[in-house]
Structure 1
Amino acid sequence: MALKDTTRPEAAGPRPPAAVALDPADRGRLLAGAHHDPHALLGAHPVPGGTLLRALRPNARAVSVVIDGTPTELPSEGDGLFAAVLPCAQVPSYTLLVAYDDTEQEVHDPYRFLPALGELDLHLIREGRHEQLWRALGAEPMVHQGVAGTRFTVWAPNAQGVRVAGDFTYWDGTQYPMRSLGASGVWELFLPGIGEGTRYKFEITSRYGHRFLKADPMARGTEVPPDTASVVTSSRYEWGDAEWMAHRGDLPVHQAPFSVYEVHLPSWRPGLNYRQLAQELPPYVKEMGFTHVELMPVAGYPFSGSWGYQVTSYYAPTPRLGSPDDFRYFVDACHRAGLGVIMDWVPAHFPKDDWALARFDGDPLYEPGNALRAEHPDWGTYEFDYGRTEVRNFLVANAVYWCEEFHIDGLRVDAVASMLYLDYSRDSGQWEPNVFGGREDLDAVAFLQEMNATVYRRCPGVVTIAEESTAWDGVTRPTDGGGLGFGLKWNMGWMHDSLEYIQKEPVHRKYHHNEMTFSMVYAYSENYVLPISHDEVVYGKQALVSKMPGDWWQRRANHRAYLGFMWAHPGKQLLFMGQEFAQGAEWSHTHGPEWWLLSDDHHSAGDHRGVQALVRDLNTVYRATPALWQRDTDPGGFRWVLCDAADDNVLAFLRFAADGGPLLAVSNFSPVVRHDYRLWVPDGFPAWREELNTDDTRYGGSGVRTEGPVKPEEGFLRLTLPPLATVWLTPED
């Protein structure tokens, strides 16, 4: 903030007349950090006989006002206050010369500046319609009234006073009280000379007189945990993904190939930062044939063991891996590799850390005031108050922020079910019904509708995805039709049922056959993603290959057959890292995938590489075959060929492209080879050939297959079905 810093104090001019003492009440509130309008007391103001100038500089030995290069010392009023009446008819242009025991600084006075936040911003904040809220709140480096500095703004409507504290004040906020901007609940202060990299917090005095430091809810940068300060940040990144951004929305997502690789960035390759990951992850994901990468939460979080699902800094990428611009570089690299980037987003709850959002201004603010609704019973966290205009705005703008500022292509919204139901994980007496006597959280519904409608309007080509585990009607129905407005929904029912089936010994699977067919009863009720996510391979649930029964060969065969069935089933697909090469251990957020299993030194490296090759080929054939993705949400794109062969553990179905081109998928979940197996196929195709066989020796299989093109006989194919395998067939050209 200094204009000049010297250890040789300059001589000050004669002292002007002392100012009229501050009203004791104003003085007390100012020094206690409880004054709503410090600008009325500090700075320069016309008074009878001249201009009153008052400065608050704790620990200063002397303060002088410098006008036209001439310093005039201000008398001390005690407690760091210095004031005098200057013989100036009009408020002059001035600076302050502040002398400490060992140094002297010439600085601009923060209290001579007009508010750096406009009336339109305040109006939109009050209305809850500021769709770029991050441009109004937080710490914004800027030039204001010709002076470079940073504008600090924060929403704290219940506070008696708010002050800025930082590394430049030794974390004492006394020197920089903020002003309240009326009914908006927003506090503002422009600090000249403060720039990027400055660490800061807000020192809040609650209505009860308690004083505490809080990190900025709108901070775009933060310290690396366990440190908790916010960091003044601005972006200088120049994007190189213009072509991707222009065309990412050319094809609606439900009519496009959509195969997702889910990643926990800190552990994918432990030790790599955003820029190093940008060199390694996109080439790998592209080579594996996926269309998108989905990142477990990137927004700032204090506890590594939460994997990012307990967010404290909604507007700042976690600094563990680098700066916000480093994260932009990572996203840009994905786009330039032809990959979409989806980010997990967590608007369902936030942790109770006393330096973050919880009871932010001394009262419940981001969380409901009603104790029955404030606490999330499962995770020891607070829920958001979706009925409060400003809180809803905070979250809606946050969704827009990631899409606009970081070019994110999709938001997978975590724990939607916990938001939708007032009685979620609550017993009788622990929740209150809505105004209609129901269990639906109407405020959460309105919030999700607003978020989806806003994101789709502002960010063409972006998709929102709901992790919603109930039968809520209309999750992916447009908001103008009464739906929640999501683009896609995780199909948790398919995931649970199919995993329940595949974990059974083959001899018992015939009693659970319906668990593999039931998903088609509701397959077109929503636009679905089939997820094998991190949640299914951690905390005792076992890795995917380890869920399978049998010896090592059979487990891998089951794994391959299951993936072949999954990729052919209607719906998009998602696979968590490490499962693409069948690692046997559960995922660890400390160690990440077991890449060493693929090394030449490992005795079963070939087995793991075989599964990896299968996933690569599944994606390659999938992307090249419109029948597998073009009509995912159209019942006319699917037809059962065999759904009742429970005794054989066989399932067969057809997928159809928009032009009628078919693909036949056959899964034999029995460990026996089935010869001369008879399956109906539609007329008009003189011969069929294997497009993919999960029992291929290249994948570690036994190599059983139907040789050559197969010609239908009286409308039926006769096939040799390999054991524990899925086969895809397409018509010969």
Structure 2
Amino acid sequence: MSASSPDAAIRPVPTAELEQIARGEHGHPHALLGPHPYDGAVTLRVLRPLAERVVARGTFGEIALEHEHEGVWAGVLPVADVPDYRLVVTYDGVEVGPQDDAYRFLPTLGEVDLHLINEGRHENLWQVLGARVHHYEAPGAAAVDGTSFAVWAPAARGVRLKGDFNRWDGREHPMRQLGTSGVWELFVPDVGSGTAYKFAILGPDGQWREKADPMATWAEQPPHTASKVFASSHVWGDGEWMAARREKHPVAEPMSVYEMHLASWRKNYDGSLWSWEQLADDLVAYLADLRFTHVELMPVMQHPFGGSWGYHVTGYFAADSRFGDPDGLKLLIDRLHQAGIGVILDWVPGHFATDEWALARFDGTPLYESPDPQRGWHPEWGSFIFDFGRPEVRNFLYANALYWLEEFHADGLRVDGVASMLYLDYARKDGEWTPNIHGGHENLEAVQFLQEMNATVYKRVPGITTIAEESTSWPGVTRATSSDGLGFGFKWNMGWMHDSLGYLAREPVHRSYHHGELTFSLVYAFSENYVLPLSHDEVVHGKGSLLRKMPGDRWQQLANLRAYLGFMWAHPGKQLLFMGSEFGQESEWAESRELDWWLLDHPEHRGLHALVRDLNGVYRDTAALWRRDHEGAGFSWIDANDAGRNVFSFVRRGAEGDADLVCVANFAAVPHPGYRLGLPAAGRWEEVLNSDASVYSGSGVGNLGGVEAVAGDWSGQPAHADVVLPPLATVWFRKAD
């Protein structure tokens, strides 16, 4: 270390700049604070507003700093080069330290990162913004561990960092603005995982606002609102699954989805929520037993109000802390993968929560939300709408999609509320919206975002899928973006859901007059790649449970439901069933309590549960039911017009070498013995599934031992057999080898 001037002066700083530092309005605090060579020595300034005494310690000895102005302390270190030093600070007679100084470190973001952020093209945004535990190799000093904090707040006049490490006094840690990027950054040494923090942001209106970190990966449990530093230590064990996923094309793979709300699936005896670890033990075993191929989790992102079911998000990069830390969610997904179960996460890029401590008016201006209330406010849901025309906001969202797919190994994203994003007049009356530049009602910026998001995730993460909750006739939802489609992998078939539930809700004697409600879906079944959704939306808000939608007494209700699920699993498209429906949940779903598990003590409900297990098992093993879901050639009616007997029959076909499957559904309350059924080939046909079987608590009517088809045209088929159709039942037949 070079010798210093014995009479070196303190590097002078204008009082006005010191006042700016004290007020938190200086965009470049590192230019004043920390060590600065001057006059043959090093001037050290630190900001400790409530301190009684500040001492710097190092190889140079111990130097007491003098209070200079409004909490700024200054002194001269008797060295020529910047040394490694620590501070000891006295508050109310108590010494704190030695502690490192945040203002001796260079920025942790590079120019390329800042350029990509400004362009809205930083695909790994979570790796540069937020709070990242960082190992800092400081020149000429020992390596230091700490946390790098960075936040995008372009309109802010100043940003302070407050948290556990500074007794929640943000005055000690003003952040620096990195050029004109709008990004504010500060590396704080000796801060690690588990530390709670917030940003204090001075808006252009002169008001300070305390904000949670938009990029935080962990948060305090509600009602607390601070963000938390998190460093993952999870070691993944799903390598085999991930390698296989890269080679898959989900549209031509089996997909039967169990949709669930984690907080109300099961609860502890005291009413508290299960942890990620409990779910990893019991949920995985439950789903594996039922043989579902996928589970869809309603939003697991941080949200303050449980009654929103997770659809009013405040922390887009943070796993819900009610269940534990983010590694717990990774453990759950890891275990699901190891059990052969894919994971789809509900994702909400269309709107966000209004809580003042979160994204709303983040830097004192409409930043994440559109400044135009006709585009930035959702009148139906009482939430803010993202500004899809701002590249940085689109970047925030598609980087978030990548984050869950890459960091948490999610296999797909079900995108909530796509219809509300696509239309400027969604939930708005005349005069409450303004047409686009072409005079139409399409939200062109939202379309651009969805295309950009889909193109990006499919490029980066092969084998995953995205699923649109889209309830209109928007063309090309699942068409490739290169062909001007939105680029989704699948779309929810809301029309099928509405029509089929309407049909099933009728008494069997009236169904013949509404036969077309079940056949109409095949008119458009191959216009998109569809998921058939019996979701949470159909069992809340007075709609009743799936079981209660069915007419008749309890036996008939269960028989109707079994027949309906058998028809659904054979229908073109992937299946989605909300939790509880697999055993006939009787009461309407409520997020405040767990499912009615006691129903499984009753044999008729255990029978429905067993049917769902067998539906999934046969479905997985029958390629004809999924390999050509997206092709019209994979389906043909046998008889779509037997309205008088409430019967529907059709063939599902796979690729060459796959055995055909014939489905016959009888939605009449009486059996049809001796029913002549056209079949694709003569020979023996096995009854591989019968929803009226005794094992499912049905009446036991059926075709044990199978049926013998003989040559002879019938219903456009080259062969036929006389079969028994049980009442309120679906039967599947497959050609014997």
Q: TM-score range by the shorter chain?
A: over 0.9
1:458-485, Cα deviation, whole Å (9 max, x unpaired): 1122111111111111111111111111
- Match for 1:630 among 627, 632, 635? 627
- Structure 1 window deviating more from structure 2 (707-716 vs 230-239): it is 707-716
Tell me the secondary structure at the aligned position of residue 559 of structure 2: helix
The Cα of 1:170 is off from its aligned counterpart by 2.6
Given that 2:11 and 2:38 are in contact with CA atoms closer than 8 Å, whether structure 1 keeps it comes out as no
* Rounded Cα–Cα distance in structure 2 between residues aligned with 1:709 and 1:93: 84
The Cα of 1:135 is off from its aligned counterpart by 0.6
Given that 2:531 and 2:575 are in contact with CA atoms closer than 8 Å, whether structure 1 keeps it comes out as yes
Given that 1:506 and 1:671 are in contact with CA atoms closer than 8 Å, whether structure 2 keeps it comes out as yes
* Rounded Cα–Cα distance in structure 2 between residues aligned with 1:516 and 1:27: 75
Name the amino acid aligned to 2:707.
Answer: V
Given that 2:164 and 2:197 are in contact with CA atoms closer than 8 Å, whether structure 1 keeps it comes out as yes
The Cα of 1:103 is off from its aligned counterpart by 1.7
Tell me the secondary structure at the aligned position of residue 372 of structure 1: helix
For 1:653-692, what aligned pairs fall within 5 Å after superposition? 653-659=650-656, 661-682=659-680, 684-692=681-689
The 1:48/1:18 distance shift into structure 2, 3 A limit, reads closer
The 1:190/1:16 distance shift into structure 2, 3 A limit, reads farther
* Rounded Cα–Cα distance in structure 2 between residues aligned with 1:440 and 1:448: 13
- Match for 1:412 among 414, 418, 427? 414
- Structure 1 window deviating more from structure 2 (107-116 vs 577-586): it is 107-116
Aligned to 2:612: 615
The 1:16/1:575 distance shift into structure 2, 3 A limit, reads farther
The Cα of 1:664 is off from its aligned counterpart by 1.0
- Match for 2:243 among 227, 243, 246? 246
| Structure 2 residue ranges without an equivalent (≥5) | 1-5, 268-272, 713-718
Find out whether 1:697 has 2:694 as its counterpart.
Answer: yes
1:526-546, Cα deviation, whole Å (9 max, x unpaired): 011101111111111111110
For 1:518-533, what aligned pairs fall within 5 Å after superposition? 518-533=520-535
Given that 2:435 and 2:441 are in contact with CA atoms closer than 8 Å, whether structure 1 keeps it comes out as yes
Aligned to 1:353: 355
For 1:125-136, what aligned pairs fall within 5 Å after superposition? 125-136=117-128
Name the amino acid aligned to 2:189.
Answer: P
Given that 2:198 and 2:211 are in contact with CA atoms closer than 8 Å, whether structure 1 keeps it comes out as yes
Given that 1:156 and 1:185 are in contact with CA atoms closer than 8 Å, whether structure 2 keeps it comes out as yes
Aligned to 1:139: 131
* Rounded Cα–Cα distance in structure 2 between residues aligned with 1:538 and 1:16: 78
Aligned to 1:52: 43
Given that 1:610 and 1:698 are in contact with CA atoms closer than 8 Å, whether structure 2 keeps it comes out as yes
* Rounded Cα–Cα distance in structure 1 between residues aligned with 2:367 and 2:77: 44
Name the amino acid aligned to 1:467.
Answer: E
1:312-343, Cα deviation, whole Å (9 max, x unpaired): 00111001111111111111110111111111
- Match for 2:90 among 85, 99, 103? 99
Find out whether 1:565 has 2:567 as its counterpart.
Answer: yes
Find out whether 1:124 has 2:116 as its counterpart.
Answer: yes
Aligned to 1:640: 637
Aligned to 1:32: 23
1:85-119, Cα deviation, whole Å (9 max, x unpaired): 44544433333232222124222221111111111
The Cα of 1:582 is off from its aligned counterpart by 0.6
Tell me the secondary structure at the aligned position of residue 397 of structure 1: helix
* Rounded Cα–Cα distance in structure 1 between residues aligned with 2:56 and 2:253: 67
* Rounded Cα–Cα distance in structure 2 between residues aligned with 1:148 and 1:708: 71
The Cα of 1:694 is off from its aligned counterpart by 0.7
For 1:493-504, what aligned pairs fall within 5 Å after superposition? 493-504=495-506
For 1:66-85, what aligned pairs fall within 5 Å after superposition? 66-85=57-76
The Cα of 1:207 is off from its aligned counterpart by 1.1
Tell me the secondary structure at the aligned position of residue 201 of structure 2: strand
Given that 2:22 and 2:72 are in contact with CA atoms closer than 8 Å, whether structure 1 keeps it comes out as no
Tell me the secondary structure at the aligned position of residue 183 of structure 1: coil
Tell me the secondary structure at the aligned position of residue 152 of structure 1: strand
Given that 2:133 and 2:230 are in contact with CA atoms closer than 8 Å, whether structure 1 keeps it comes out as yes
Aligned to 1:505: 507
The 1:465/1:16 distance shift into structure 2, 3 A limit, reads farther
Tell me the secondary structure at the aligned position of residue 595 of structure 2: coil
| Structure 1 residue ranges without an equivalent (≥5) | 1-14, 600-604
- Match for 2:231 among 231, 234, 249? 234
Find out whether 1:194 has 2:191 as its counterpart.
Answer: yes
- Match for 1:423 among 425, 446, 460? 425
The Cα of 1:195 is off from its aligned counterpart by 1.1
* Rounded Cα–Cα distance in structure 2 between residues aligned with 1:466 and 1:553: 36
Given that 2:525 and 2:572 are in contact with CA atoms closer than 8 Å, whether structure 1 keeps it comes out as yes
1:1-28, Cα deviation, whole Å (9 max, x unpaired): xxxxxxxxxxxxxx98774664233222
1:28-83, Cα deviation, whole Å (9 max, x unpaired): 22111111111111112233464332111121111122241511111112421111
- Match for 1:152 among 143, 149, 154? 149
Find out whether 1:574 has 2:576 as its counterpart.
Answer: yes
* Rounded Cα–Cα distance in structure 1 between residues aligned with 2:402 and 2:569: 31
Corresponding pairs, count: 714
Given that 1:17 and 1:86 are in contact with CA atoms closer than 8 Å, whether structure 2 keeps it comes out as no
* Rounded Cα–Cα distance in structure 1 between residues aligned with 2:215 and 2:11: 39
Aligned to 1:41: 32
1:187-223, Cα deviation, whole Å (9 max, x unpaired): 0001111111110000100111100110000001100
- Match for 1:730 among 731, 734, 737? 734
Aligned to 2:270: none
The Cα of 1:443 is off from its aligned counterpart by 1.0
The 1:707/1:340 distance shift into structure 2, 3 A limit, reads closer
1:496-541, Cα deviation, whole Å (9 max, x unpaired): 1100110011121122111101100100000111011111111111
* Rounded Cα–Cα distance in structure 2 between residues aligned with 1:104 and 1:489: 58
The Cα of 1:719 is off from its aligned counterpart by 1.6
1:666-694, Cα deviation, whole Å (9 max, x unpaired): 11111011122122222x33122211111
Name the amino acid aligned to 1:338.
Answer: G
* Rounded Cα–Cα distance in structure 2 between residues aligned with 1:60 and 1:237: 40
Name the amino acid aligned to 1:122.
Answer: L
Aligned to 1:717: 721
Name the amino acid aligned to 1:143.
Answer: H
Tell me the secondary structure at the aligned position of residue 103 of structure 1: strand
For 1:326-341, what aligned pairs fall within 5 Å after superposition? 326-341=328-343
1:557-600, Cα deviation, whole Å (9 max, x unpaired): 1000100100000001011110000111111212121111113x
Tell me the secondary structure at the aligned position of residue 308 of structure 1: coil
- Structure 1 window deviating more from structure 2 (66-75 vs 522-531): it is 66-75
1:250-293, Cα deviation, whole Å (9 max, x unpaired): 33111111111111112211132101110111111111111011
Name the amino acid aligned to 1:727.
Answer: V
Name the amino acid aligned to 2:731.
Answer: V
Q: How does the TM-score come out when normalised to structure 2?
A: 0.95
Tell me the secondary structure at the aligned position of residue 216 of structure 2: coil
The 1:134/1:320 distance shift into structure 2, 3 A limit, reads same
Given that 1:16 and 1:72 are in contact with CA atoms closer than 8 Å, whether structure 2 keeps it comes out as no
Given that 1:16 and 1:84 are in contact with CA atoms closer than 8 Å, whether structure 2 keeps it comes out as no
Name the amino acid aligned to 1:31.
Answer: A
* Rounded Cα–Cα distance in structure 1 between residues aligned with 2:53 and 2:8: 16
Tell me the secondary structure at the aligned position of residue 359 of structure 1: coil
The Cα of 1:644 is off from its aligned counterpart by 1.2
Find out whether 1:111 has 2:99 as its counterpart.
Answer: no
Tell me the secondary structure at the aligned position of residue 404 of structure 2: helix
Given that 1:478 and 1:485 are in contact with CA atoms closer than 8 Å, whether structure 2 keeps it comes out as yes
Given that 1:466 and 1:490 are in contact with CA atoms closer than 8 Å, whether structure 2 keeps it comes out as yes
Name the amino acid aligned to 1:114.
Answer: L
